[in-house]
Chain A
Amino acid sequence: MIQPVNGLVSGVLPVAGDLPVTGDTITFGWRLNGEETQIEVDPAERLLDTLRYRLGLTGTKEGCAEGECGSCTVLMDGLPVNSCLVLSFQAAGRRIDTVESLDEAALAPFLEGGATQCGACTPGVVITANWLLANRDLLDTHHIRELMAGNLCRCTGYDGIVDSIEAALEADDPAVVGDAS
């Protein structure tokens, strides 16, 4: 498990966070990174904000707030979604997996293949790539680039990302998280 660097505790918010306060909170259960927990959120809170500012899981990034860049990608019920476009209460009763759930070994192909430079896109890239690797039957109908098209990168020119995924496919890395259903 990759541990969050910040020691943020639920209810203690950093200055940078801007969680909305619109009314009565909603409390629900969900399965976050494999663990069944309860969480209390404002109804207007985005999943991205809950993860970063309420839970200190800052691996998931905000790049565009409009579902274009993919740096906020998490898995919801095993599918990649933009957490900037999900209200947290919509995740009630669902499985959410963030980049923090990935094994160090899952990251190795990307470090070796030149898939990361500044790192801003990397959490989103590795979560989507990991989903792809866990669902190889997708490659019967889709190319890698189409499946990765929702994760924009300003540094690598994408070839390093694709090469890393191809290398991981060849090495036959075991599936870690997610399913494509």
Chain B
Amino acid sequence: MPTFVYMTRCDGCGHCVDICPSDIMHIDKTYRRAYNIEPNMCWECYSCVKACPQNAIDARGYADFAPLGHSVRVLREPEKGTISWKIKFRNGHEKNFVSPIRTTPWGTIPSPAELPPPSENDFKNQELAHEPDALNIEGGLPALTSGQLKKGVI
């Protein structure tokens, strides 16, 4: 289900252009509004749908095999730390989901440059630098012991 833009809602800010990993969200040359230049190259990551501050981007299936009438709408509320989804099926059935975006205030996660450089011991283990702290798991990452595995795996 590739994305498309409601032109009357879009204000041409360029957030979707910046975030699209496929680089297929571009600015229209006639009205300076965003549009999906290549819907069949859209891998439906929904990054632009979630990033759009005007809720101007929606997703829909290809008209040849998915008749219109359904929709996927997203409401991002960063101040509440939530993202809500409303999935509408063609038969009118609706599903609503709410997911957390984060559990800490914006800007409180330090960037790698703000953290101390990894010690020599850090290079000897398999974890990434500062990873256990970021995951908030005391005592390190959980690991499987040989007793928990099926016979024959090791």
Decide whether A and B assemble into one complex.
no
